Amino acid sequence: MDETLTITAMGAQGDGVAERHGQAVHVPGALPGETVRADLDGARAVDVEVLTPSPERVVPPCRHFAVCGGCKLQHWADEPYRAWKRQKVVDALARQGLDIAVDPLVPGAPCSRRRATFSMLRRPEGVLFGFQQAGSHAVVDIAECHVVVPVLIRARGALKALGRALLPVMGARARPVPVTVTVTETGLDVAVGSGFRLTDEGRQAAIGIALKANLARLAVQGEVLAETRKPIVRFDGIAVPLPPGGFLQASAAAEAAMREQVIAHISGGKAIADLFSGCGTFALPLSRLAAVHAVEADASALTALDAGWRMATGERLRQVTTERRDLFTRPVTARELGRFDGLVFDPPRAGAEAQARQIATSSVERVVAVSCEPATLARDLRILMDGGYRIVSLTPFDQFLWSPHVEVVALLERAG
């Protein structure tokens, strides 16, 4: 049954929200202030027709928008879109009872994402390579993308060739295979995920394609099939050999802006802890200022970090030590943190509740919290503030352009 709905707000996941009989209805592709006609599937609208468009509606730059699930908000003007992203952080803090000043959103730039996870399927008619439709296993075979750096789209032909070599023809219900592609200083690092049987014939064909396409490295289901050059990334000029599937901030520009805040806040300390350190995004640049102890659960990431530190022979870096440790089950204790005067933590989306409780009772003077999930960050900040820390500044970064996701950097000091 057709329903006419008025959009009153933008939901947390980038859908318009209307009210019907006291219940919220989520309307994909709608903007606040619009009137739409749609069918309802429970609390979600389908077959949406915009009757009265918002003056904030703009023409999306990408031909695949509204079909591809990679972007949700290309149709919204910059100013209200950025205000909404900042407000997501404000609202997350408010839910924890925190009334904290939030800086303006640091905007992201189109065509700047250096790392993306695509989806790939092989159908009888050919290989589909792109992003999945929202709520579906269907893959949109993209010919352009206004989020990733252009070299990733130029590699589309070689990546499809890999799909033809590796993947069997898949049925209609088959799940897409993830393909993570990272732009490094020495070339493309390609990691093909699981979901199919890797044959000897497919392995040999894929190696030939990787060599022909001049990929720096090709890994399939965790196995490195070809590595003509070690994929190298730089953290503030310090070269690091990236491990297969290693974590990397999605945008080099956002990484640099966040690092600038981190360094400015921590500078002056003699010993710094970097928890959830990854490959050394913050640890290595910080070692120009002080001794750094990097803690991370991923052994390959710590190996890369240590290699980067040892390779930096022309740099005046202080001592960097590493420790493999699952900080969710065995956080660094307040007593262990007593030797540090500065600390950085950058956990996954789940946040760092157990670790935050240890930091809250520690003597560390300055703390930087980096997060890609405002809700768990707000929870962790509540713990730290209850433990005697105060927020110096809190800045959101639009590292994930046109998506509902937002990165945040919070600077804290121990009060009085």
Show binding-site residues for S-adenosyl-L-methionine.
249, 276, 296, 346
CB atoms within 10 A of CB 233: 27
**Cα–Cα distance, 126 to 263 (Å, whole number):** 49
> Going edge to edge, which strands form the sheet with 126-132?
139-141, 126-132, 115-123, 177-184, 187-192, 217-220, 223-227
Catalytic entry in 62, 68, 71, 372: 372
Could you list the residues known to form a binding site, using ranges: 249, 276, 296, 346
349: which residues sit within 8 A by CB, 6+ positions away?
372, 373, 376
Number of alpha helices (DSSP H) and beta strands (DSSP E) in the chain: 9, 21
- 299: enclosing H helix or E strand: helix 299-311
Residue 372 annotated to the active site: yes
* CB burial of residue 207 (10 Å; 0-12, 13-18, 19+): middle
The helix-helix angle for 200-212 and 156-166 (nearest 10°) equals: 170
Say if residues 287 and 318 touch (Cβ distance below 8 Å).
yes
CB atoms within 10 A of CB 42: 9
**Active site members:** 372
